[in-house]
Amino acid sequence: MSGHGAPKTEPVDGTGLDVVVVAGQWHDVITDGLIAGAARVLDASGASWRLIRVAGSFELPVVAKAALDAGADATVALGVIIRGGTPHFDFVSAAATDGLTRVALDTGKPVGFGVLTLDDEQQGIDRAGLAGSKEDKGAEAADAALRTALTLRDLRG
């Protein structure tokens, strides 16, 4: 597991930012942990935010784009894709990653990337910010979205 080299960051002031967390419904224990981590960071920042649940990781890009087009300053995309015995993992992982990248570039707004691509469920539990987890990828994705939104706001004056 990576985690080494992660930046040590202080909470940011997200007052005035509107953030939409878009989360898939698969692997609910892991996904709920990701959502809880994102919620902690967003609440601490003072940003306003709401949660939208979607069927799975494949649906994250279209809903993230709709949220940004509707006026959100940033989105946080959370999902869990676990490798199985078919190429489905590769297709969904690529579609979610490429789609979310396209959404960010097309809208000019940040998408915090909290989509876990895993070989097994334990890797997700280790990254979901649960009791005993080594990492909190939901919190990291929310922090990245906030920081990027603030940077863009500063650049745009």
Residue 88 bears catalytic tag: yes
Q: Which of 13, 55, 88, 98 is catalytic?
A: 88
Evaluate whether 41 touches 143 at the Cβ level (below 8 Å).
yes
Evaluate whether 38 touches 78 at the Cβ level (below 8 Å).
yes
Burial of 131: CB neighbours in 10 Å, binned 0-12, 13-18, 19+: exposed
Q: What are phi and psi of 6, to 5 degrees?
A: -65, 140
Alpha-helical (H) ranges within 19-59 are: 28-45
Active site residues: 88
